[in-house]
Structure 1
Amino acid sequence: MDLWRLLRRDALRNVQSLFLLAAFAAALNLSVLTTLNDALLHLEDGHGLERLLLIFLVSAFVWRMAQNLLMRMASKRIQAGLGRLRVDLLRRALAADLPDVMALGPNRIAQAAGAELQILAQAVPTLVISVQSVAAIILCLVYLSSLSGLAVLIVLASLGIGGIIVARIVAKLEVQAESIHESEVGLTERADHILKTLRECKVNRRRRANALADIDACTGELHRKRFQFNVLYADYYMANELAYYFSIAGIIFLLPALAATEISTVVLSAHAAAFVAYPVITIVTSYPSYMGAETAARSYLAIEAELKTPALPPKPAPGPAVDFTGFSTLALEGTTFRHAGRDGIGSFSVGPIDLTVERGTVIFVTGHNGSGKSTLVHMLLGLYPAHRGALTVDGQPVAADEMASYRDLFSVVFSDVHLTRQLYGARDLEDGFAEELFDLLEIADKVALDGNAFTTVELSQGQKKRLALVAALLERKPVLVLDEWAADQSPYFRRKFYREIIPWLKARGITVIAVTHDDAYFDAADVQIQVDRGSARRLVPARPASEPESLPAV
């Protein structure tokens, strides 16, 4: 059971106290039963009934308190465990090789860390009560055996036959639940696609109609599967009820026929069997929650396995951390990376690449779309592990356990930048550097600092890129990597970027590596790396024949 594996590993550590409390609550439940049965035997004894009523009230009150405490303890422990699971999954994603994460899909990881763990959290109350219910059933059967061993056999036989029928239904329910989960994932993906392509859908009626028809078909399929699940669940519920009814009927009709039994024993045994009803029904009704939690746990564990990383990053070796900040050169030496296509078809290789980055230089990476520019940058960042060759600093290969220190050299603004208000990687925000950057990038009237965050990120696409550049520079790293940063800027600001901002960065000693298509400004680089079909060659940037002297600000 994947759910039990997950909870036992991460949430239910040191569960002895929980099990003892569940057993205590079940014992109090049994006390209620035995008190009521004793009352049935002393209906004519007024003083005895008063004493039994007091015992009943105390037992019921303490049972309620114990059950409430059990729920609180289990919920707190499991919620803490689920919190650890969420953080651990994100740690695994950060520790895994980027190609593995991208192949798995960030959306799938986010769903497992969010919605699916929420399903587990919501299932906690019913699961905890179910554990207590199992203990209550066992104790009730023990009590029933003290009344009549034959009555216990009748109840177990009824429950056993019912259990065989239920098990067959449960197998179908599990298959159906897995199918529903897959349909829900597909429906979420389609809905997310529509919301992310609202503009495209609005300007293309056929696209909009096809997208809506597709999501309507998926919705219909999901409704059909849910209906089938509900029908199966109704059969499951009725099979459990029939098993319960037959156990009571067996005591009433069969017990006197099979053995000489006093009427009082039959009544008390039937009442004890009836008392099993509530915990049985509790378990039965909690099963859909359990199935949803089981499916979510299975999905979570599958993602863990696919990420191929430990739950926690290994502890750093003792001694001083590797410090590359004083580097003179970074280099790719005969480095090759291969994008594996599905089933080995359609793979694409970049390399072997020989590229040296000298500190303080400006390097432009150019080439057509799909030529391998982004892959080359990812290789240089250490995000794509080289299949061949080496990544070196000052001629020395970077070891696997040094890669995190190596990556600390870079601040990056990717073309698909995701901007948040929080400045997680910024340092020294009190020295006025942020305000200088706001002025340089001409967004001081749009945004400011609010503690360790921006006041807003609700800006145009070009302004977001400028704000992302501010965030990157506030990390104060020696190397700045920009992926098509100027593509969303106005002609005025594009020129300012190449003619003013890049020289300003170089003057501050920042090494700039920029992926760009702006051939009118290639001369702003010290080195141009032309990428074509996975290979790269070094060019000497040439100044264009003519260039507008200035453009009006916009």
Structure 2
Amino acid sequence: MDLWRILRREALRNMQPLLLLAVLAAALNLALLTSLNDALLVLDDPEGLQRLLIVFLLSAFLWRIAQGWMMNAASKRMQAALATLRVDLLRRAVAADLPDAMAVGSSRLAQVAGAELQMLAQAVPTLVISFQSVAAILLCLLYLSTLSGAAVLIVLGFLVVGGILIGRSVIRLELMSETIHEAEGALSERSDHILQTLRECKLNRRRAANALADATSCAESLRKERHRFGAEYSHYFTISELTYYAALAGIIFLLPAVTDTDIATVILAGHAAAFIAYPVITIVASYPSYISAETAARSYLAVEAELKAAPQAVVPGRGSGMDDPFSTIALEGATFRHAGRDGTGSFTVGPVDMTVERGSVVFITGHNGAGKSTLIHMLLGLYPIQRGSLSVDGVTVGPDGLATHRDRFAVVFSDSHVTRQLYGATTLDDGFAEELLDLLEMSDKVAIDGRAFTTVDLSQGQKKRLALIAALLERKPVLVLDEWAADQSPYFRRKFYREIIPWMKARGITVIAVTHDDAYFDAADVQLQVDRGGIRQFIATVPAGGIPAPDLLPVSS
């Protein structure tokens, strides 16, 4: 069972105190039962009733304390385990090969680390109470055996028959739970699509109608599956109730018929059987929570397996990489293959031979889908080289050296997510940040407060400028930009190629930029053109003045 695999690994360490508290609470439950049963035998003895009342009240008080301790301990232990599981999943995602992490997807990771793990948190206290209920049932049966061995056999007989019927229902409930989980995922995907494309839906009624029809179909499927689950759970609960009533009826009707038992024993045995009802109902009522937790655990373990990486603590790299003594970074016969679904539709980049000299400006060009971004990921060490090699100064970068190699780069991807927090920045109190804000013309819109931007609520082009500022504040020797200028105004695009790139080069920063801006190819020292997954041409930079860039007046951006 997947739930128990996770709990044994994270939450059931040193669980003996919890289990002992559960047994103690069950024993105190039995003390309540025996005090009540004993009171039935001394109804004409006021002193005996008073003594048993004290026992009953003391047992109830101690049971309340034990129950509170048990639940608090279970909650504390589970929340600690939950925090560990969430951080471990993030550590696995960071440690995993990028293709594996991207295949899992950020939305699925968020779902597993959020709502689904919360199901585990809710299930553990319920499981502890269920364990307590099982202990209470066993103790009540033990007490019942002191009254009548035949009564125990009758109760156990009905419990076994009921257990078989309940077990069949449980199997059906588990299968339905899997179907519901899949249906919920399908509806969540459709809902997310609609919410992410509200503007497009408003502009195209056919698109909106089709998307809503698809979501409605998924919602209807989910409704039907949940209805089936509810009906089956009602059946499951009814069987459990009938099992209890049948056991109680067996005590009342069968026990006097098969044994020579006095009325007092039948009453006490019936009371004991009735006392079993509450823990039985507790176990039955907790089962849906257990099923949900089992499904969540299975999903969590599946994501772990797909990430193919153990959780690893991330050790901060060098604070400033400008003193890194490397001279060249090279790909030699390097190949990476994107595997399509079911092994079809794959795309291969390579074999590639390229060398980046330190301090140079390299433009990577080519049509969409040619493999430019994949080439960048190979150079960064984010995609594993499947054939050939990645080397620095002629030394191959092996798996153990990838983390150090990646520390050389600051990157602004085409889809970079800009956050207020400057997590990767080094020193911020030497005026460099203010210089960058002025250079990127953002001083009148954003400031730096502590280690964060004051806002990121800006246009797309301005967000890209903030991303560039954040990357430069990492003070790495190599800056990689993927279609950075695509979101900029004509004025600022010209400034980027004619002022900002020379400014970076003058400070010894190696610039590698993916670009389509052919009017500014002369800003590079080297241009590499990617075509159909390989570097088909190695083109020297267009001589200065060979492709004139238009003179543009500054405009608002």
**TM, length-normalised to structure 1:** 0.97
Q: Which stretch shows the higher mean deviation, 254-263 or 195-204?
A: 195-204
Deviation at 1:315, TM superposition (A): 9.6
Partner of 1:448: 447
Tell me the distance in 1 between the aligned counterparts of 2:172 and 2:322: 58
- Structure 1 CA distance for aligned equivalents of residues 416 and 505 of structure 2: 23
Quick check: 126-135 or 205-214, which moved more? 126-135
1:231 is matched with 231
Residue identity matched to 2:523: A
2:80 aligned partner, one-letter code? A
Question: Which secondary structure does the structure 2 equivalent of 1:517 belong to?
Answer: coil
Any idea what the Cα deviations from partners look like across 1:336-379, whole Å, max 9, x if unmatched?
11111223221111111111111111111100000000000000
Partner in structure 2 of residue 208 of structure 1: 208
Which amino acid letter does the alignment assign opposite residue 509 of structure 2? I
User: Which string of whole-angstrom CA distances, capped at 9 and with x for unpartnered residues, describes residues 480-523 of structure 1?
Assistant: 11111111111111111111111111111111111111111111
| Deviation larger for 336-345 or 41-50 | 336-345
Q: Which amino acid aligns with 2:298?
A: R
Q: Give runs of aligned pairs for residues 98-137 of structure 1, distance below 5 A.
A: 98-137=98-137
* Compared CA separation, residues 323 and 464, structure 1 to 2 (3 A): closer
The alignment status of 1:366 with 2:361, answered yes or no, reads no
Task: Describe how 1:23-172 pairs up with structure 2 within 5 A.
Answer: 23-172=23-172
Q: Deviations over 1:196-245 (max 9, x none)?
A: 11222222111111111111111111111111100000000000000000
2:379 maps to 380
Which one-letter code corresponds to 1:3 in the other structure? L
Deviates more, 1:197-206 or 1:365-374: 197-206
In structure 1, distance between residues paired with 2:250 and 2:403: 70
Matched-pair contact (CA < 8 Å) for 2:177–2:229: yes
> Counterpart of 1:371 in 2: which secondary structure?
coil
Distance, in Å, in 1 between the alignment partners of 2:3 and 2:428 is 45
Structure 2 counterpart of 1:294, which letter? E
The letter of the residue matching 1:304 is E
Q: Which amino acid aligns with 1:272?
A: A
Instruction: List runs of 5+ in structure 1 lacking aligned partners.
Output: 317-321
* Conserved? CA contact 2:528–2:539, under 8 Å: yes
Determine if contact 1:82/1:117 at 8 Å carries over to the other structure.
Answer: yes
User: Structure 1's 323 and 83: CA in aligned 2 closer, same or farther, altered over 3 A?
Assistant: farther
Match of residue 401 from structure 1: 400
1:33-58, Cα deviation, whole Å (9 max, x unpaired): 11111111111110111111111111
How much has 1:324 moved relative to structure 2? 8.8
Q: How does 1:6-21 map to 2 (within 5 A)?
A: 6-21=6-21
1:490 aligns with 2:492: no
- 1:33 and 1:275 in contact (8 A); partners too: yes
Aligned AA (2:16): Q
Q: Root-mean-square deviation (CA), in Å?
A: 1.6
Identity between Structure 1 and Structure 2 (%): 69
Deviations 1:100-131 (A, max 9, x none): 11122222122111111012122233222112
Which is worse superposed, 195-204 or 250-259? 195-204
In structure 2, the residue corresponding to 1:349 is in which secondary structure? strand
Cross-structure match for 1:504: 503
2:552 corresponding residue in structure 1: 550
1:429 shift after superposition: 1.4
| Equivalent-residue separation in structure 1 for 2:407 and 2:323 (angstroms) | 8
Could you tell me the TM-score, scaled by structure 2's length?
0.96
Residue aligning to 1:267: 267
Q: CA–CA distance in 2 between the matches of 1:391 and 1:476?
A: 23
Q: Which moved more, 1:486-495 or 1:422-431?
A: 422-431
- C-alpha contact 2:520 2:547 (8 A) present in aligned 1: no
Q: In 2, distance between residues paired with 1:107 and 1:166? A: 36
Partner-residue secondary structure (3-state), 1:188: helix
SS at match of 2:330: strand
Deviates more, 1:326-335 or 1:372-381: 326-335
Cα displacement (A) at 1:312: 3.2
Find the residue that maps to 1:530 and give its secondary structure: strand
CA distance in 2, matches of 1:103, 1:402: 24
Question: Counterpart of 2:232 in 1: which secondary structure?
Answer: helix
Partner of 1:181: 181
| Residue range with higher mean Cα deviation, 60-69 or 418-427 | 418-427
Kindly state the Cα deviation for residue 194 of structure 1 after the two structures are TM-superposed. 1.3
Q: Residue 319 of structure 1 aligns with which residue?
A: none
Q: Partner residue of 2:332?
A: 333
| Contact 1:491/1:551, CA 8 A, preserved across alignment | no
SS at match of 2:29: helix
Q: Does 1:463 align with 2:465?
A: no
Deviation at 1:314, TM superposition (A): 9.9
Contact in 2 for aligned 1:324/1:406 (Cα 8 Å): no
| AA in 2 matched with 1:131 | F
Distance 1:487 1:170 in 2: 57
Q: CA deviation at 1:323?
A: 11
Distance in 1 of aligned mates of 2:125 and 2:291: 14
**Who is 2:524 aligned against?**
525
Q: Which deviates more from structure 2 when the two are superposed, residues 399-408 or residues 538-547?
A: 538-547
Question: Where does structure 2 lack aligned partners over 5 or more consecutive residues?
Answer: none
Letter of the aligned partner of 2:293 in structure 1?
Answer: A
Match of 2:345 in 1: 346
1:496 and 1:323, CA in 2 relative to 1: closer, same or farther beyond 3 A?
closer
Question: Number of paired residues?
Answer: 549
Q: Does the 8 A contact of 2:322 with 2:477 survive in 1? A: no
Alpha-carbon distance between aligned partners in 2 of 1:57 and 1:41, rounded to the nearest angstrom: 18
AA aligned opposite 2:136: A
How far apart are the structure 1 equivalents of 2:160 and 2:315?
52
Report deviation, 1:428.
0.7
What code does the residue aligned with 1:337 have? Answer: F
State the shift of 1:6 in Å. 0.5
* C-alpha contact (below 8 Å) 1:151/1:251 kept by paired residues: yes
Give, in whole Å, the separation in 1 of the partners of 2:360 and 2:157: 83
Query: Partners of 1:513 and 1:88 in 2: how far apart?
Result: 33
Amino acid across the alignment from 1:552: P
